[in-house]
Amino acid sequence: MTDGEERRARAALTALVEPGDLKVWDAVERVGAAELVRRIAANSDRHLEPFDLADRLLERAGKAGVRLVLPGDREWPHGLDALLTLANRQQRKVAGGESLPTIDRTVAPPVALWLRGQPRLAETVAKSVAIVGSRAASGYGTHVAGELAYGLADRGWTVVSGGAYGIDGAAHKGAMAADGPTVAVLASGADVPYPPGHASLFEKIAVDGLLLSEWPPGTTPQRPRFLVRNRVIAALTAGTVVVEAGVRSGAKQTARRAYELGRALMAVPGPVTVAGSVGCHELVRGPLAARLVTRAEEVLEEVGRIGADLTAPLRAPKDWRDTLDAMSSAVVEAMPAVDWMPLDDLRAAVPVAAARIEEIVAGLAVAGRLERDGTRVRFAAAGRADSQPRVVKPVVR
300 and 354 together in one domain: no
Intra-chain end-to-end CA distance of the chain, in Å = 58
**Which of these ranges, 136-140, 144-148, 231-235, 346-350, has the smallest mean pLDDT?**
346-350
Question: What is the sign of the dihedral through the CA atoms of 114, 64, 223 and 18?
Answer: negative
Confidence of residue 386 (pLDDT cuts 50, 70, 90): very low
Q: Please, which pLDDT band fits residue 354 given cuts at 50, 70 and 90?
A: confident
In-domain check, residue 67: no
303 within some domain:
yes
Expressed as residue numbers, the domain containing 236 is 113-311
pLDDT, average across residues 27-38: 94
Instruction: Report the C-alpha dihedral over residues 46, 49, 54, 56, rounded to 10 degrees.
Output: -80
- Residues 226 and 349 occupy one common structural domain: no
Lowest mean pLDDT: which of 23-37, 143-157, 175-189, 293-307?
293-307
- Based on the structure, what is the number of domains in the chain? 2
Q: How far is CA 351 from the centre of its chain?
A: 55
The reply to whether 327 and 199 lie within a common domain is no
* Model confidence at 312: pLDDT above 70: no
Confidence band of 44 (pLDDT split at 50, 70, 90):
confident
- Per-residue pLDDT band for 193 (boundaries 50, 70, 90) equals very high
252: confidence class by pLDDT, cuts 50, 70, 90 = very high
24, part of any domain = no
Q: At 25, is the secondary structure helix, strand, or coil?
A: helix
221-230, 264-273, 309-318, 319-328: least confidently modelled range: 309-318
Average pLDDT, rounded, for the chain: 90
Domain boundary among 259, 293, 311: 311
Q: Model confidence at 138, in pLDDT bands (50, 70, 90)?
A: very high
User: How confident is residue 397, by pLDDT bands cut at 50, 70 and 90?
Assistant: very low
Residues 314-347 pLDDT 10s:
565 677 888 888 889 889 999 998 889 999 999 8
2 confidence band (pLDDT: 50, 70, 90): low
Confidence of residue 95 (pLDDT cuts 50, 70, 90): confident
Residues 278 and 331 in one domain: no
* Span 181-193, average pLDDT: 97
Is the domain of 262 the same as that of 365?
no
Asked if the structure places residue 92 within a domain, the reply is no
Q: Model confidence at 87, in pLDDT bands (50, 70, 90)?
A: confident
Question: In this model, does residue 391 exceed pLDDT 70?
Answer: no
**Could you write out the DSSP letters of every residue in 325-362?**
-HHHHHHHHHS-SSS-EEHHHHHHHS-S-HHHHHHHHH
Residues 154 and 218 in one domain: yes
Distance CA 21, CA 228 (A): 10
Looking at 283, 311, 339, the residue that finishes a domain is: 311
Q: Is the peptide bond before 195 cis (omega within 30 degrees of 0)?
A: yes
Q: Is the pLDDT of residue 238 over 90?
A: yes
Does residue 152 sit in the same domain as residue 231? yes
CATH of the domain at 154: 3.40.50.450
pLDDT at position 152, please?
98
Q: Which of 311, 339, 359 is the last residue of a domain?
A: 311
pLDDT bin (cut points 50, 70, 90) of residue 311 is low
Q: Is pLDDT larger for residue 322 or for residue 363? A: 363
Q: pLDDT value at position 389?
A: 38
- Using the predicted structure, report yes or no on whether residue 392 has a pLDDT greater than 50: no
Task: Based on the fold, state whether residues 166 and 122 are members of the same structural domain.
Answer: yes
Burial tier of 11 (Cβ tally within 10 Å: 0-12, 13-18, 19+)? buried
**Listed residue (12, 111, 15) closest to 55, CA to CA:** 12
360 and 295 part of one domain: no
DSSP E strands in the chain: the ranges are 66-69, 113-116, 128-133, 158-161, 182-185, 210-213, 239-243, 264-268, 291-292, 314-315, 341-342, 370-373, 376-379, 393-394
Given a cut of 60, is residue 394 above it in pLDDT?
Answer: no
Would you call 265 helix, strand, or coil by DSSP?
strand
Q: What is the mean pLDDT of residues 233-255?
A: 94
